[in-house]
Chain A
Amino acid sequence: MHPAWSIIFFTTLSGLGFGFSTWVVFGFIEIRNIFQLIITAGFTFCLIGSGLLSSTLHLGHPERAWRALSQWRSSWLSREGILSVLVLTALTYWFLYTFRYGELPLLINITLMTMILFTVYATAMIYASLKTVTCWNQFLTPVCYLMFAISGGMLAITWLMSIFGQLITSSTFQILLILILLTWAFKIKWWWNLDHSQSESNLATATGLGKFGKVRSLMPPHTSENYLQKEMGFVVARKHAIKLRVISLTLGGIIPFATILIGTSSSLLLGIILFIHLAGVFVERWLFFAEAKHIVSLYYGDKTSV
């Protein structure tokens, strides 16, 4: 699939924002003054907001984006939109309320966290629900999205805690390590699935031909590249993909993991790690699109499975 920058930005940044806010609501960070409130809330809203905003960039008609909230009954994109709006509103109240009046009842916090994570889930489900892209259409897709959000969010919140001079316990670091480990374990399994899954669909089922032999594509319908080929036909070559997977894993997993394992609570270093991690996730997200094969490419003569 064509890796549109706006969508890659959107899913990475909003994912991080949602993950981060989950931990905020969980109570990881202690907001002591107005200054810290502005930073924490600002960080949250910037991440989520810029993600959402950039997602409208790839729309043909962003001015009508509001219409996207209407089809929550069937469309994951609609659901995600509505949830995002709800979550943003709720978070605003949450920040104001907790700052003013202190903690909210656990049940409310849990509900809010669920909503946030469900938003991430909805984002993932936009892709995971597409039968046409076999590698997306698996249970692990939302799991990965959620794991990236949670682990990234945790890393971000650790960083912010260190800026705020809050004590970061070693168990915090241990949780972080476990989360990073798990995230990449899922992601690696996802890649494994991508490499090994076999779609039921092939050119023979796509065309209904193949009664007496192989089917191959002979002529494209147009010699000039069309929307479908640009949008669905983009598949990064295996050899590049492997290189990029290694880069992504190194930046997003190994470096953060190793650095944290060695032990650091320097906010500068944590900031750098967060940035490197983000870069890794970015590559991961790019690959998520670039490696994905749309079933339509069968019609255009792609011989390998989708």
Chain B
Amino acid sequence: MSFEPVIEKSPKVSDEIKKTTCYMCACRCGINVHIRDNKIRYIEGNKDHPINKGVLCAKGSAGIMQHYSPARLKSPMKRIGPRGSGKFEPITWDKALSIATDWLEPIRNKDPKKLAFFTGRDQSQALTGWWAQQFGTPNFAAHGGFCSVNMAAGGIYTIGGAFWEFGAPDWNLTEMFVLFGVAEDHDSNPIKIGLGKLKGRGKRVVSVNPVQTGYAAISDDWYGITPGTDGLLILSLIRELFLSNKIDVNYLRRYTNSPWLVIQNPGKNNDGLFLRDQSGQPQVIDRLSGKIVSHSKKGISPEMSGKIKLDTGGFAIPVFKIMYDTYINSTYSPENISSKVGISSNRIRKFAADLADAAFSREVVINQPWTDWKGEKHKKMIGRPVSMHAMRGISAHSNGFQTCRALHVLQLILGSIEVPGGWRFKPPYPKPPEAHPKPSGKPNQVQPGKPLTGPPLGYVLSPEDLIINEDGSPQRIDKAYSWDAPMSAHGLMHMVISNAVAGDPYHIDVLFMYMANMAWNSSMNTRGVMEMLTEKDGDTGEYKIPKIIYSDAYSSEMVAYADLILPDTTYLERHDAISLLDRPICEADAVADAIRWPVLKPDRDVRGFQSVLLDLGARLKLPGMVNDDGSAKYKDYADYIINHERKPGIGPLAGFRGNGDKSGRGEPNPGQIESYMSNGAFWHKEIPEEARYFKMANMEYQKFAVDIGIFDKPEPYTFQIYSEPLQKFQLAALGHGNIQPPENMRDRIKSSFTPLPIWYEPFEGKAVLEDEYPIHALTQRPMAMYHSWGSQNPWLRQIHGQNPMYIPISLAMKHNLSDGDWIWVTSHHGKIRVPILTMAGLNKKTIWTWNAIGKRKGAWQLDEDAPEAKKGFLLNHLIKELLPAKGDGQRWSNSDPITGQAAWFDLKVKIEKANINEPHESYPQFPPLPREYGTIQDPPKKLRYGIEWTKQNKAHNKSDNS
């Protein structure tokens, strides 16, 4: 006998559901925020939303705790103690903005580049970049340079797009999905939804990753590769596919530059460039006529091999031939690379065979006629159902750009890009580098009191586009687009502070940062950066970086190092635009964009940063931000989102333009934001059926893209296996042209700027002795934590409150270690003491930990004895922003030589057991930050979230019926 109380099976959930966009990470899922009594009752995924289709991750589900975090900043603040002490006084917004104006106005009128404006985990680069442009400083970038610019640039230069926001696997049709170096990525929920689909369909999932966790754990094949060697593995796979003739020659011929003729004229300034006609069109040999014709000519069938003699000297041969000769080389044979990559030659062969099997034995055909850019008609869409996704595992190495390119080449030889079952672009991609702007900010483009002629970030195509001085020295503070990192695309966030303090290339006056925890987890050499931020000039006694303005929403480690704090709202309190001009939320089958809007009112004196930036811009009288009478043009960010036009008819949001009935192009619509709000905070327009595949060559898609405002004219695109821009830099290094690298950089450019992807040893590994530092050390993103900003979240910090170093069991054996022991990990740059756990599913030369769990004492409103501070740790103390000195006086950045991507994962270390008498506390430790600065409230000792509602729910219960 048991008593069953009557329970309330239909308790009230909420008063109202407000639909907006999550920002517990950059994935940008749609959320339904249930509001009850003006508080958040529950956050769930929005089922209609294109990104997450109703699901919600751990972080998103912890939004309540983030929104009500006691670490929220409560008002603008001005530093009163020494920098780094965390002593501030609250000030009014008016005061804060006038201080900022006073600091910035003279700079703009004298030398705008003395302002460095760098933004972090930002999703509004269309605005921030435009603001920098209007201010007139070239020194603008977002965090992409330390994040994953190798992936982005490698992709743009090769296929006109990359992974994540650029494209996605054809989840419904793919037969084999390969992940390279992905732990979670930005595409958190979509990848998981996709993996679920694949598993449901019984398709093969393969993971190449030194660590077998997360996505790798559910893969059917796991290749536990040695870090930094993916390029080798990929080239070996390419070799195997070539040798077994498992390549899609037709695809290569049609959609890639494989048949394009390359001039072979060693020692001359046209060596390695494409053979072009008068109009600049690349040339091919037509198989049918045997003639040299423009590749864009209709009805031809280009030759893939052969050689022609040129009147102008030398020969020309198709890219394909060069590619074939390069890659069938036995350097790339599985046997030769096996020990380097840590995978047996048999398994490498099996990998290649699996790829071939999926691509060629399981062809996917859609009976959908389509017309290509030349006007040739195709009856069906034929696809090779192999799809891939890659991220920082291959990107965050100093050979990452070429590795990313190699991966795209692998996709291309399988004929698997933008085809049914393959990997597909999301609009506005494919978008080749030529369709992007070139970076602006050359010395003559930077004028006192004037805006730049174009956006500070863009894609260079040749040495002429570099942002350098007459003498070849860098013009930008981060040395982006200089010979240090010619094709940097996203800037070098990780070098700004270090360079500004070293005065290399020069000093700056104001560092303006937004949403980047640079004094902690987003810096290399964290201790060094904290010192740099507080370093003073011996003569003047002034800080080396005289003024720092920073916008954060929470009391992060970085807040203590700023002079002026502009507190942001939480993501539920402000407007945001996730724009087609920026990083939209499109799908392969649809264009889409989204907004955030204030679903709750701030309860403290904070303002959305974008609104503040526009206000500041108006006070500085920046063009485009003021009316003719000098008054502010935009009331706030929402006003800007609605009314700003980049080009006539094109604004931040593509949906509900005109009278609410126009998509893409159309006049500003005052009711636009309301339309978004009632549509679930997003807008979504499907791509016509015949335009859904082969977008780079599909005329229907190109027309659609023009209609929607993505392009002004069709931009059909041929994939660039052979990269001419790289060859142009190569030629410069070989001594051709007016713009040439300095002497000491020539070798490095020669060896890395190859027009076909290659592999070379990562720099740090090459600079240190293998015997001394034999182990690779990595971080991974924990799925349930977002960088540093999740630690203030009491739910998430119970899941990840401290981080162990995972080490392979064999290494543990060697060092006589078992779970719970503490070890010292040493790199060429520093030492940390950390606790370990052992692991079997791990590359035998690799150790790893979760990223950004370690916290500085006192930050984030956590107690000083919080495990995050006492036991948690950062790997960043071991990673230096510079390579070991070579004795040439040059400060060589620890970055990819092509893009400047921070080489986080090149780290080499050694380990030893900590003495048993040493404290079980992570090392290094830093003086605690004062907890009181500017935050909203004292943290409670106990949390009983929702207590009032559980009581109300109960009131409905007739609980005792016995």
Q: Which A residues lie at the B interface, using CB under 8 A?
A: 73, 216, 218-219, 221-224, 226
Contacts and interface: CB of A to CB of B under 8 A. Distances in A.
B799 A221 contact: yes
Contact of A223 (B798, B839, B840, B841): B798
B801 A223 contact: yes
Nearest to B212: A218
Contacts of A223: 798-803, 867
Contacts, number: 22
Interface of B: 1, 797-803, 837, 839-841, 867
A218 B802 CA distance: 15
Nearest to B3: A70
A244 B798 CA distance: 34
Contacts of B798: 222-224, 226
A222 B799 contact: yes
Which 6 residue pairs spanning A and B have beta carbons closest together? A224-B798, A223-B801, A222-B798, A224-B801, A223-B802, A222-B799
Nearest to A70: B3
Contacts of A216: 840
Contacts of A221: 799
Nearest to B872: A223
Contacts of B841: 218
A219 B839 CA distance: 10
Nearest to B784: A222
13 contacts: A73-B1, A218-B839, A218-B841, A219-B837, A221-B799, A222-B798, A222-B801, A223-B798, A223-B802, A224-B797, A224-B798, A224-B867, A226-B798
A93 to B, nearest CB: 31
A210 to B, nearest CB: 14
A223 B837 CA distance: 12
Given A218-B837, A218-B841, A224-B801, 19 more contacts: A73-B1, A216-B840, A218-B839, A219-B837, A221-B799, A222-B798, A222-B799, A222-B801, A223-B798, A223-B799, A223-B800, A223-B801, A223-B802, A223-B803, A223-B867, A224-B797, A224-B798, A224-B867, A226-B798
Contacts of B867: 223-224
Contacts of B840: 216
A219 to B, nearest CB: 8
A221 B799 CA distance: 7
Nearest to A213: B840
A170 to B, nearest CB: 54
Nearest to A214: B840
B210 to A, nearest CB: 15
Contacts of B803: 223
A216 B803 CA distance: 19
A218 B1 CA distance: 42
A79 to B, nearest CB: 15
A218 B838 CA distance: 8
A158 B246 CA distance: 95
Nearest to B809: A216
Nearest to B800: A223
Contacts of B797: 224
A222 B853 CA distance: 13
A19 to B, nearest CB: 34
A219 B799 CA distance: 10
B870 to A, nearest CB: 12
A115 to B, nearest CB: 24
A51 to B, nearest CB: 29
Contacts of A226: 798
Contacts of B1: 73
A218 B46 CA distance: 33
A218 B800 CA distance: 14
A274 B86 CA distance: 63
A212 B888 CA distance: 56
B461 to A, nearest CB: 47
A223 B803 CA distance: 8
A181 to B, nearest CB: 43
Contacts of A219: 837
Nearest to B803: A223
B704 to A, nearest CB: 46
A266 to B, nearest CB: 51
A213 to B, nearest CB: 9
Nearest to B1: A73
B720 to A, nearest CB: 42
B959 to A, nearest CB: 13
B65 to A, nearest CB: 14
A193 to B, nearest CB: 29
B232 to A, nearest CB: 29
A223 B872 CA distance: 11
A137 to B, nearest CB: 24
A224 B801 CA distance: 6
Contacts of A218: 837, 839, 841
A223 B1 CA distance: 40
A90 B1 CA distance: 28
A92 B788 CA distance: 65
A224 B800 CA distance: 8
Contacts of B839: 218
A1 to B, nearest CB: 22
A267 to B, nearest CB: 51
A222 B803 CA distance: 11
A218 B801 CA distance: 16
A124 B1 CA distance: 24
Contacts of A224: 797-798, 801, 867
B192 to A, nearest CB: 18
B862 to A, nearest CB: 13
Nearest to A221: B799
A224 B797 CA distance: 8
Nearest to A226: B798
A73 B2 CA distance: 10
A183 to B, nearest CB: 38
A67 to B, nearest CB: 11
Contacts of B801: 222-224
A73 B800 CA distance: 44
A302 to B, nearest CB: 12
A203 to B, nearest CB: 14
B290 to A, nearest CB: 60
A103 B883 CA distance: 97
A216 B840 CA distance: 9
A56 B53 CA distance: 50
A221 B840 CA distance: 18
Contacts of B837: 218-219
A136 to B, nearest CB: 25
